Amino acid sequence: MTEQSPVIRVEGLKRHYQLGDTEVRALDGVDLVISRGEFVAIMGSSGSGKSTLMNLIGCLDRPTAGRYLLEGVDVAGLAEPELAAIRSHRIGFVFQSFNLLARTSALENVSLPLFYSEGGRDATPRARAALALMGLAERERNQPSQLSGGQQQRVAIARALINDPAILLADEPTGNLDSQTSTEIMETFRRLNREHGLTIILVTHEPDMAAWASRVITMRDGRVLTDEAQPDNATTDQPARMPTQVPITRLGRMEPGSFVRMALLASLRAIVRNKMRSALTMLGIFIGVAALITMVAVGQGANASVTAQIASLGTNLAIVMPGATTSGGARGGYGSASTLTVADARAIAAEAPSVADIAYMNRASAQVQFAGQNWTTVIQGISPNFVTVRNWTIVAGRALTLEDDASGARVALLGETLRKNLFLEGQDPIGATILIKNVPMQVVGLLGSKGQSSFGSDQDDVILIPFNTAERKVLGAAAPSSTKTNTNPIFNGPPSPFGIQPRLTGLANSLYMQATSAEAVGRAIEEATAVLHQRHRPAPGQPDDFNIRNMGDLAQAAESTGQIFTLLLSAVASISLLVGGIGIMNILLVSVTERTREIGIRMAIGARRSHVLFQFLTEAVLMSIAGGVAGIAFGLLLAAIIAQLVGWPLVISPLAVVGGFVFSAAVGVFFGFYPARRAASLNPIEALRYE
């Protein structure tokens, strides 16, 4: 036998367990030197400390006392990640119960250690080669339950060899196998030892199996009893397996890329293996995020629709209305509830510098007829600038002009609802003559649709005619039949060519003031109030007989209501997200318990605690993100359907989408961390024994 360097040197090794008051001395001072290329069998009765010794040699456990030098390095000085690296690169484990991952193909089982050593690079071809070496090329797709015990053990051996270790530790590998299969496994070991130079340490209590080894050690009560060479089986003068290039103290740490790849692949496999459970786990997050997205979109859609309606009333707008609050609002001489006049409008235009434009309107309900159709609608007599001040659009024909108003022309602008009710589809209303209160009027233009107002009325159910025309011919108490006179008291109308003041009241239902800017609305209201107060002079102790409303305030009030609405709904959605997160934590905790043995296996084949931690964390985050993304998609779909049904604009807030995503990921991290910590802190030996 050639001089061989010791690969394992054990001196005075002790491992004591405290069981209540009694101290169990599983190992009680073992001295042992094992050289490269040896094939050692350890024998002894049950409880003699064989497995304890194997776990210490395999760096799964730490001794209570004594020294263990592996390749000359004192293992006691190494930290957990370094021990994991040794298990990953230097040592292959084979167990009595095979310890393969269930519902996982032979190929995946064999490639598993590669994920913890190199992030799974070239995993498939290497695993295939290892399986072929074990004579299992045909069975790579089979799961453990589809393989015989001998085949399963050979898959386990292939897994132990995948990282090209220097030492193979086999703890009663044939304990569960019949004698013929056991012989096959032993032949495999001898071949690996002789042809590949692998150092093998085999635990067995069967002398038949020990007979295959080149050296037999027997143990009793935690000590070595005998240690004998079996010259017949002496390792041939094959060169012993050379130490792998990298010394154990410098075994590479996994690069970040490989690390991420490992975590992703391992967690993806775990998720796919439990499809139904994973789907149910995601459901909580899915519902939470979908509710969040839908509710925010619905809230914002409602908001946008209210805001749009208010904007459609006109921008920078304030409305002067007759004081409805006063009981005796009617003032002497006017004979009407309204006290606002065209002259008031003119005075405001002249004296209030913050008012850019002012329109006025008089309204009444009346029947409109055309070709046998009739429809009761709102007739609005308007100043020509009313259309622009109120943000109406003219979609066909022309607007009303100063000339129309001055001459009291019988012309009208039709609202969309009225057009639909009086005219057939495709019929051109422009130029048609309709009857308003039996007065013939020519349609000269069509108004663009404003839609339903949030106050419940159809804004398009309207017909606009010149103010003077309305007063004289349609709405006025005593409309003269003659149309030749012409005046109007409005400020921006042309001067009457005849200079005759008519006997008209000039009463308006409301005045629409457009301020010079949005900021100037408040000032415009103050100025107009002063002007009107001066003109109307309420009796002492009486309030003003008019009332000015800022449309911007209305818009703001509506908006803040909408915001409260959105906030409330989001709170409800957050609660369902929280519930979803707890669901993830619950499932993961169950899964950690259920997969305790799997975690032990992963650690035995080289997974570090940080690997296990990140693997479980990734699993949680992947599930919650998948649930979140599906929830975002479904929530958007639902929001679109609701918007379509209700007729709101579809408002998709990027903030809600990004927020839903980030929140679901955060839920995964938050609720996944505790189970992941628990998995990572498991003791590998106890985890391996877990039933």
Which structure tokens are listed for 265? Answer: 């692949």
Which structure tokens are listed for 391? Answer: 């943000």
CA–CA distance, 427 with 555 (Å, rounded to integer): 37
If one asks whether residue 52 binds ligand ADP (CB under 6 A), the answer comes out as yes
Of 21, 22, 46, 691, the residue at the interface with ligand ADP (CB under 6 A) is 46
Q: Which is nearer to ligand ADP, 42 or 114 (CB)?
A: 42
CA–CA distance, 274 with 102 (Å, rounded to integer): 12
DSSP code string of 477-518: TT--S---------TTSPPPSS-PPPS---B-SEEEEEESSS
Fill in the per-residue mask, 5 to 24: x = in contact with ligand ADP (CB under 6 A), - = not in contact: ------------x-x----x
How near is the Cβ of 686 to Mg ion at its closest, in Å? 14
Of 35, 51, 105, 204, the residue at the interface with ligand ADP (CB under 6 A) is 51
Q: Which is nearer to Mg ion, 173 or 384 (CB)?
A: 173
If one asks whether residue 174 binds ligand ADP (CB under 6 A), the answer comes out as no
Q: Which is nearer to ligand ADP, 435 or 685 (CB)?
A: 685
Fill in the per-residue mask, 62 to 101: x = in contact with ligand ADP (CB under 6 A), - = not in contact: ----------------------------------------
Q: Which is nearer to ligand ADP, 217 or 657 (CB)?
A: 217
Fill in the per-residue mask, 506 to 525: x = in contact with ligand ADP (CB under 6 A), - = not in contact: --------------------
The phi and psi torsions of 442 (rounded to 5 degrees) equal -100, 130
If one asks whether residue 26 binds ligand ADP (CB under 6 A), the answer comes out as yes
113: CB partners within 8 A, 6+ apart: 88, 159, 162, 163, 605, 606
| Overall residue count recorded for the chain in this entry | 691
If one asks whether residue 49 binds ligand ADP (CB under 6 A), the answer comes out as yes
In 502-593, DSSP assigns E strands to 510-515, 546-550
Of 48, 300, 362, 570, the residue at the interface with ligand ADP (CB under 6 A) is 48
Q: Which residues of 348-371 are buried (b: 16+ CB within 10 A; e: fewer)?
A: bbeebebbbbbbbbbbeebebebe
Contact 52, 128 (CB under 8 A): no
Contact 415, 460 (CB under 8 A): yes
Question: Ramachandran region of residue 612, left (φ > 0), alpha (ψ -120 to 50) or beta?
Answer: alpha
Instruction: Find tokens 């913050």 and name the residue.
Output: 354
Q: Which does 49 bind (CB under 5 to 8 A by kind): ligand ADP, Mg ion, none?
A: ligand ADP
Of 35, 48, 51, 300, the residue at the interface with Mg ion (CB under 5 A) is 51
Q: Which does 24 bind (CB under 5 to 8 A by kind): Mg ion, ligand ADP, none?
A: ligand ADP
Q: Which is nearer to Mg ion, 32 or 355 (CB)?
A: 32
If one asks whether residue 204 binds Mg ion (CB under 5 A), the answer comes out as no
How near is the Cβ of 5 to Mg ion at its closest, in Å? 29
How near is the Cβ of 50 to Mg ion at its closest, in Å? 5
How near is the Cβ of 240 to Mg ion at its closest, in Å? 28
CA–CA distance, 485 with 482 (Å, rounded to integer): 7
> Kindly report the CA angle at 332 between 331 and 337, in degrees rounded to 5?
40
How near is the Cβ of 55 to ligand ADP at its closest, in Å? 8
How near is the Cβ of 175 to Mg ion at its closest, in Å? 9
If one asks whether residue 173 binds ligand ADP (CB under 6 A), the answer comes out as no
Which structure tokens are listed for 422? Answer: 């009086």
Q: Which does 242 bind (CB under 5 to 8 A by kind): Mg ion, ligand ADP, none?
A: none
Q: Which is nearer to ligand ADP, 17 or 455 (CB)?
A: 17
Report DSSP state, residue 249: G
Binding site for ligand ADP (CB under 6 A): 17, 19, 24, 26, 44, 46-52
